[in-house]
Amino acid sequence: MNSVRPALLTVAVLAAAAIGVRFGLARQAAIARRRIGKPLGEDALAVDRVWRRRLPGEPIDLLIVGDSLAAGLGASRRKETLGGRLAKGLAKRTGRPVRLRSLAVVGSESPDLAEQIDRLTPEDRVDVAVIVVGGNDVTHRIPVAESVGHLVAAVQRLQQRGARVVVGTCPDLSALRPVPQPLRTLASRLSRRLAEAQAEGAARAGAASVSLRRTVGPLFLDEPEQMFSLDRFHPSALGYRRTAEALLPAVVAALTAPVTG
């Protein structure tokens, strides 16, 4: 019995420590929410339109789905949103107009992708689709396998419609200065894990992926005043420009790739 008591004591101490860490992280999350607030509101700019309509040829149909980053929250003009940047860049690269449609919703998580895609009608054309999601999955602690499962399902549904798909994987959350430590370090670790799993899932489904952590993450870490909007959480116009520049080569390449699914 004497040998059992130390073991039970160890378990009790570890359990108490885990509870303490959980409450500590919850408290830090509340601090981060207060610091960030909602100075940008919850509605992104409307970007649906034909961009560069004076160019010759049939418009390329570009679809954007995902969260607030995909929706462009933080941009003050629609041409500065992620969708606007991608549409303009794609039109310049191809010499054709681009018909942009965004179904992205601020605050969305990977399980919400299905509802966004449900808004498409059978008549809606999609030549290439860009999915950016994951940050809210991390902050709301959605299991990685569940997140990736919803992402893969979304990719496959879009492919069945004849779309080529590009996935922008979860950004590096260590750049979020309003989030106190050690929560920021934990968020960074979890966002990297999710991003890697998203890339693997996209590859299995036959979609292209772009690591936003590697391509633009260092810029957000080194130049937060320029790359973030006033809430220090969502990208600024420059942040969206750099993110679009990272995604654009994959979007252009996807147009000539065979459709999977």
Of the residues 127, 191, 211, 234, only one is catalytic, namely 234
The answer to whether residue 43 is catalytic is no
Tell me which residue of 206, 194, 65 sits closest to 132, measured CA to CA.
Answer: 65
| CA–CA separation, 186 and 206 (whole Å) | 30
Catalytic residue among 61, 67, 68, 172: 68
Other beta carbons within 10 angstroms of residue 207's beta carbon come to 29
Distance CA 162, CA 36 (A): 39
Assess contact for 123 and 116: CB atoms under 8 A. no
The reply to whether 112 belongs to the active site is no
48 is annotated as an active-site residue? no
Residue 116: closest CA among 44, 157, 153, 66? 66
The residues that are catalytic are 68, 231, 234
